[in-house]
A and B are shown apart, each in its own frame.
Chain A
Amino acid sequence: DTGVSQDPRHKITKRGQNVTFRCDPISEHNRLYWYRQTLGQGPEFLTYFQNEAQLEKSRLLSDRFSAERPKGSFSTLEIQRTEQGDSAMYLCASSSVLAGVKDTQYFGPGTRLTVL
Protein backbone atom coordinates (compact mmCIF):
# COMPACT_ATOMS: atom_id res chain seq x y z
CA ASP A 1 0.00 0.00 0.00
CA THR A 2 1.23 3.46 -0.82
CA GLY A 3 -0.86 5.09 1.90
CA VAL A 4 -3.44 7.83 1.76
CA SER A 5 -2.35 10.80 -0.32
CA GLN A 6 -3.74 14.32 -0.37
CA ASP A 7 -3.26 17.16 -2.78
CA PRO A 8 -2.32 19.94 -2.43
CA ARG A 9 -0.39 19.84 0.82
CA HIS A 10 -0.74 23.58 1.30
CA LYS A 11 -3.24 26.07 -0.08
CA ILE A 12 -3.33 29.80 0.49
CA THR A 13 -6.38 31.62 -0.80
CA LYS A 14 -8.18 34.89 -0.40
CA ARG A 15 -11.46 35.18 1.41
CA GLY A 16 -14.38 34.52 -0.90
CA GLN A 17 -12.51 32.23 -3.28
CA ASN A 18 -13.42 28.58 -3.87
CA VAL A 19 -10.94 25.80 -3.15
CA THR A 20 -10.94 22.08 -3.89
CA PHE A 21 -8.88 19.37 -2.22
CA ARG A 22 -8.30 15.84 -3.40
CA CYS A 23 -7.81 12.64 -1.43
CA ASP A 24 -6.64 9.31 -2.81
CA PRO A 25 -7.31 6.50 -0.33
CA ILE A 26 -5.44 3.26 0.10
CA SER A 27 -6.43 1.10 -2.83
CA GLU A 28 -9.41 -1.15 -2.22
CA HIS A 29 -10.43 0.72 0.92
CA ASN A 30 -14.16 1.20 0.60
CA ARG A 31 -14.58 3.87 3.27
CA LEU A 32 -13.24 7.39 3.07
CA TYR A 33 -13.47 10.06 5.76
CA TRP A 34 -12.84 13.80 5.94
CA TYR A 35 -11.83 15.54 9.16
CA ARG A 36 -10.81 19.09 10.01
CA GLN A 37 -8.12 19.97 12.54
CA THR A 38 -7.50 23.46 13.88
CA LEU A 39 -4.38 24.47 15.77
CA GLY A 40 -4.14 22.92 19.21
CA GLN A 41 -7.22 20.74 18.73
CA GLY A 42 -7.94 17.20 17.75
CA PRO A 43 -9.44 16.37 14.37
CA GLU A 44 -13.20 16.82 14.00
CA PHE A 45 -15.31 14.57 11.81
CA LEU A 46 -16.85 16.17 8.72
CA THR A 47 -18.23 13.40 6.54
CA TYR A 48 -17.66 9.87 5.29
CA PHE A 49 -18.34 7.74 2.23
CA GLN A 50 -18.82 4.06 1.77
CA ASN A 51 -17.92 3.42 -1.84
CA GLU A 52 -19.55 6.33 -3.70
CA ALA A 53 -22.35 6.93 -1.20
CA GLN A 54 -22.03 9.76 1.30
CA LEU A 55 -23.52 8.21 4.42
CA GLU A 56 -23.06 10.83 7.12
CA LYS A 57 -22.37 14.54 7.35
CA SER A 58 -21.48 16.51 10.45
CA ARG A 59 -23.32 19.71 11.31
CA LEU A 60 -19.87 21.30 10.91
CA LEU A 61 -20.25 20.76 7.19
CA SER A 62 -22.09 23.94 6.22
CA ASP A 63 -23.72 24.35 2.83
CA ARG A 64 -20.53 25.98 1.57
CA PHE A 65 -18.83 22.60 1.85
CA SER A 66 -19.42 19.75 -0.55
CA ALA A 67 -17.70 16.41 -0.84
CA GLU A 68 -17.87 13.83 -3.58
CA ARG A 69 -16.54 10.40 -4.30
CA PRO A 70 -17.92 9.79 -7.76
CA LYS A 71 -16.40 6.40 -8.60
CA GLY A 72 -15.82 5.11 -5.13
CA SER A 73 -12.08 5.77 -5.35
CA PHE A 74 -10.67 9.29 -4.86
CA SER A 75 -12.68 12.03 -3.18
CA THR A 76 -12.82 15.81 -3.46
CA LEU A 77 -13.77 18.36 -0.83
CA GLU A 78 -14.79 21.77 -2.11
CA ILE A 79 -15.23 24.88 -0.01
CA GLN A 80 -17.09 27.73 -1.66
CA ARG A 81 -16.78 31.38 -0.66
CA THR A 82 -14.02 30.65 1.83
CA GLU A 83 -13.95 32.48 5.15
CA GLN A 84 -11.04 33.05 7.51
CA GLY A 85 -12.62 30.60 9.93
CA ASP A 86 -12.11 27.85 7.34
CA SER A 87 -8.35 28.01 7.90
CA ALA A 88 -7.39 24.57 9.18
CA MET A 89 -5.75 21.29 8.30
CA TYR A 90 -8.11 19.08 6.29
CA LEU A 91 -7.42 15.40 6.84
CA CYS A 92 -8.54 12.43 4.83
CA ALA A 93 -8.61 8.88 6.12
CA SER A 94 -9.60 5.55 4.62
CA SER A 95 -10.55 2.16 5.95
CA SER A 96 -11.95 -1.14 4.87
CA VAL A 97 -15.17 -2.74 6.01
CA LEU A 98 -15.49 -6.41 5.19
CA ALA A 99 -18.30 -8.62 6.45
CA GLY A 100 -19.27 -5.96 8.97
CA VAL A 101 -15.81 -5.81 10.57
CA LYS A 102 -14.59 -2.24 10.83
CA ASP A 103 -10.95 -1.73 10.09
CA THR A 104 -8.61 0.96 11.31
CA GLN A 105 -8.69 4.40 9.73
CA TYR A 106 -5.42 5.38 8.08
CA PHE A 107 -4.78 9.08 7.70
CA GLY A 108 -3.19 11.11 4.95
CA PRO A 109 -0.73 13.96 5.54
CA GLY A 110 -3.45 16.59 5.27
CA THR A 111 -4.01 19.77 3.30
CA ARG A 112 -3.28 22.95 5.22
CA LEU A 113 -5.63 25.75 4.15
CA THR A 114 -4.90 29.37 4.95
CA VAL A 115 -7.57 31.92 4.12
CA LEU A 116 -6.29 35.50 4.01
Chain B
Amino acid sequence: GDSVTQMEGPVTLSEEAFLTINCTYTATGYPSLFWYVQYPGEGLQLLLKATKADDKGSNKGFEATYRKETTSFHLEKGSVQVSDSAVYFCALGTGGGNKLTFGTGTQLKVEL
Protein backbone atom coordinates (compact mmCIF):
# COMPACT_ATOMS: atom_id res chain seq x y z
CA GLY B 1 0.00 0.00 0.00
CA ASP B 2 0.89 3.67 -0.06
CA SER B 3 3.28 4.90 2.59
CA VAL B 4 5.42 7.88 3.54
CA THR B 5 8.64 7.75 5.52
CA GLN B 6 10.13 10.91 6.98
CA MET B 7 13.07 11.51 9.24
CA GLU B 8 12.39 11.29 12.92
CA GLY B 9 12.66 14.29 15.14
CA PRO B 10 13.03 16.34 17.00
CA VAL B 11 15.39 18.34 14.83
CA THR B 12 17.00 21.20 16.72
CA LEU B 13 18.72 24.00 14.79
CA SER B 14 20.11 27.41 15.49
CA GLU B 15 18.47 30.38 13.83
CA GLU B 16 19.72 30.98 10.27
CA ALA B 17 20.85 27.36 9.89
CA PHE B 18 20.05 25.30 6.79
CA LEU B 19 17.17 22.85 7.10
CA THR B 20 16.58 19.54 5.37
CA ILE B 21 13.80 17.16 6.35
CA ASN B 22 13.92 13.95 4.35
CA CYS B 23 10.78 12.34 2.94
CA THR B 24 10.48 9.25 0.77
CA TYR B 25 7.33 7.56 -0.42
CA THR B 26 5.90 4.36 -1.84
CA ALA B 27 2.83 4.64 -4.03
CA THR B 28 1.12 3.11 -6.99
CA GLY B 29 0.47 5.42 -9.87
CA TYR B 30 1.47 9.05 -9.85
CA PRO B 31 0.72 10.70 -6.54
CA SER B 32 0.67 14.37 -5.68
CA LEU B 33 3.08 15.28 -2.89
CA PHE B 34 2.57 17.74 -0.05
CA TRP B 35 4.20 19.24 2.96
CA TYR B 36 1.85 20.32 5.75
CA VAL B 37 2.91 22.23 8.87
CA GLN B 38 1.32 22.24 12.30
CA TYR B 39 2.30 25.16 14.53
CA PRO B 40 1.82 24.75 18.30
CA GLY B 41 -1.87 24.86 19.17
CA GLU B 42 -2.97 25.25 15.56
CA GLY B 43 -4.39 23.03 12.82
CA LEU B 44 -2.65 21.56 9.81
CA GLN B 45 -1.76 24.08 7.13
CA LEU B 46 -0.57 23.36 3.63
CA LEU B 47 3.01 24.55 3.22
CA LEU B 48 3.69 23.52 -0.38
CA LYS B 49 2.82 20.92 -2.97
CA ALA B 50 3.95 19.35 -6.25
CA THR B 51 1.71 17.42 -8.57
CA LYS B 52 4.11 15.79 -11.03
CA ALA B 53 7.69 14.65 -11.37
CA ASP B 54 10.36 17.40 -11.33
CA ASP B 55 7.88 20.00 -10.07
CA LYS B 56 9.23 22.23 -7.32
CA GLY B 57 6.87 23.48 -4.66
CA SER B 58 7.85 26.58 -2.71
CA ASN B 59 6.40 28.85 -0.04
CA LYS B 60 7.74 31.06 2.76
CA GLY B 61 11.33 30.21 1.82
CA PHE B 62 10.70 26.47 1.95
CA GLU B 63 11.22 24.31 -1.14
CA ALA B 64 10.76 20.68 -2.14
CA THR B 65 11.26 18.95 -5.49
CA TYR B 66 9.26 15.92 -6.63
CA ARG B 67 11.91 13.30 -7.49
CA LYS B 68 10.27 10.31 -9.13
CA GLU B 69 13.56 8.45 -9.68
CA THR B 70 14.36 8.47 -5.96
CA THR B 71 10.72 8.61 -4.79
CA SER B 72 11.59 11.56 -2.58
CA PHE B 73 10.24 14.99 -1.67
CA HIS B 74 12.75 16.47 0.76
CA LEU B 75 11.91 19.78 2.43
CA GLU B 76 14.61 22.47 2.51
CA LYS B 77 15.01 26.00 3.78
CA GLY B 78 18.15 28.04 3.53
CA SER B 79 17.82 29.99 6.78
CA VAL B 80 15.38 28.96 9.47
CA GLN B 81 13.80 31.29 12.00
CA VAL B 82 12.49 30.70 15.50
CA SER B 83 8.99 31.14 14.07
CA ASP B 84 9.51 28.03 11.89
CA SER B 85 9.37 25.84 15.00
CA ALA B 86 6.54 23.40 14.29
CA VAL B 87 5.77 19.84 13.27
CA TYR B 88 6.17 19.14 9.55
CA PHE B 89 4.25 16.37 7.80
CA CYS B 90 5.03 14.93 4.39
CA ALA B 91 2.01 13.46 2.59
CA LEU B 92 0.99 11.94 -0.70
CA GLY B 93 -2.37 12.09 -2.40
CA THR B 94 -3.62 9.18 -4.47
CA GLY B 95 -6.70 7.76 -6.06
CA GLY B 96 -9.78 9.36 -7.44
CA GLY B 97 -10.52 10.85 -4.05
CA ASN B 98 -7.00 12.18 -3.60
CA LYS B 99 -6.99 10.85 -0.05
CA LEU B 100 -3.85 11.78 1.82
CA THR B 101 -1.35 9.38 3.36
CA PHE B 102 0.85 11.13 5.91
CA GLY B 103 4.22 10.47 7.42
CA THR B 104 4.63 10.48 11.18
CA GLY B 105 5.78 14.09 11.29
CA THR B 106 9.08 15.74 12.15
CA GLN B 107 9.26 18.24 14.98
CA LEU B 108 11.53 21.20 14.29
CA LYS B 109 12.87 23.38 17.08
CA VAL B 110 14.75 26.52 16.16
CA GLU B 111 16.73 28.24 18.88
CA LEU B 112 18.31 31.69 19.05
B31-88 residues at the A interface, CB under 8 angstroms: 32, 34, 36, 42-46, 49
Of all chain B residues, which has the CB nearest A55?
B97
A105 at the interface (CB under 8 A from B): yes
Chain B interface residue count, CB cutoff 8 Å, equals 24
A85 at the interface (CB under 8 A from B): no
Contact B102 A42 (CB under 8 A): yes
Binding site secondary structure of chain B? strand
Q: How far is the CA of A102 from the CA of B101 in the complex (A)?
A: 16
Binding site secondary structure of chain A? strand
A6 to chain B minimum Cβ distance, whole angstroms, is 9
Query: How many A-B residue pairs lie within 8 Å, measured between CB atoms?
Result: 57
Contact B100 A56 (CB under 8 A): no
A56: B residues at CB distance < 8 A: 95, 97, 99
| With contact pairs A44-B102, A110-B43 given, residues A104 and B97 touching in the complex (Cβ less than 8 Å) | no
Of all chain B residues, which has the CB nearest A4?
B43
Chain A interface residue count, CB cutoff 8 Å, equals 24
Q: How far is the CA of A40 from the CA of B87 in the complex (A)?
A: 10
Contact B97 A31 (CB under 8 A): yes
A107 at the interface (CB under 8 A from B): yes
Taking a contact as CB atoms closer than 8 A, the residue among A50, A95, A109 that contacts B43 in the complex is A109
B64 to chain A minimum Cβ distance, whole angstroms, is 15
Taking a contact as CB atoms closer than 8 A, the residue among A41, A91, A102, A110 that contacts B104 in the complex is A41
B36: A residues at CB distance < 8 A: 107
A74: B residues at CB distance < 8 A: none
A45 at the interface (CB under 8 A from B): yes
Contact A105 B98 (CB under 8 A): yes
Taking a contact as CB atoms closer than 8 A, the residue among A42, A50, A106, A110 that contacts B46 in the complex is A106
